[in-house]
Amino acid sequence: MQPAQESQSKVQRAVSDLVLAELFLVQATIESVAAIGDGISAITGNSAEGESDADNLGSVLQRTADEAIEPYTTRFKYFRELTKKDS
């Protein structure tokens, strides 16, 4: 392969990987926002019902944090697997 073609191929690969990473980021962000919204609904629903138990609030916050971060870790894992296969 010619040096110019090899360089162009590397640039195309980098752009392709960047686009794929951005798509995964958008998907993860949408899922994360949904999880955070569900957590807010759970918290406001509990306070509207008069439940102010700190343990319950703590469990809702922990569950929400776990659900909000999971899409990012999963998508990053998928991305790493895809980029390793293409290497």
CA distance to 27, 32, 46, per residue, from 39 (Å): 19, 11, 11
Is residue 63 a part of any domain in this protein? Answer: yes
Is residue 13 a part of any domain in this protein? Answer: no
Is residue 16 a part of any domain in this protein? Answer: no
pTM attached to this predicted model: 0.75
Is residue 21 a part of any domain in this protein? Answer: no
Identify the domain containing residue 87 by its residue range: 28-87
Is residue 36 a part of any domain in this protein? Answer: yes
Q: What is the DSSP string of 23-40?
A: HHHHHHHHHHHHHHHHHH
pLDDT in tens, 30-83: 999 999 999 999 988 866 566 557 678 889 999 999 999 999 999 999 999 988
Is residue 1 a part of any domain in this protein? Answer: no
How many domains are there within the chain? 1
pLDDT, average across residues 16-27: 94
Burial class of residue 68, CB neighbours in 10 A (0-12, 13-18, 19+):
buried
**pLDDT at residue 8 tops 60:** yes
Is residue 2 a part of any domain in this protein? Answer: no
Is residue 71 a part of any domain in this protein? Answer: yes
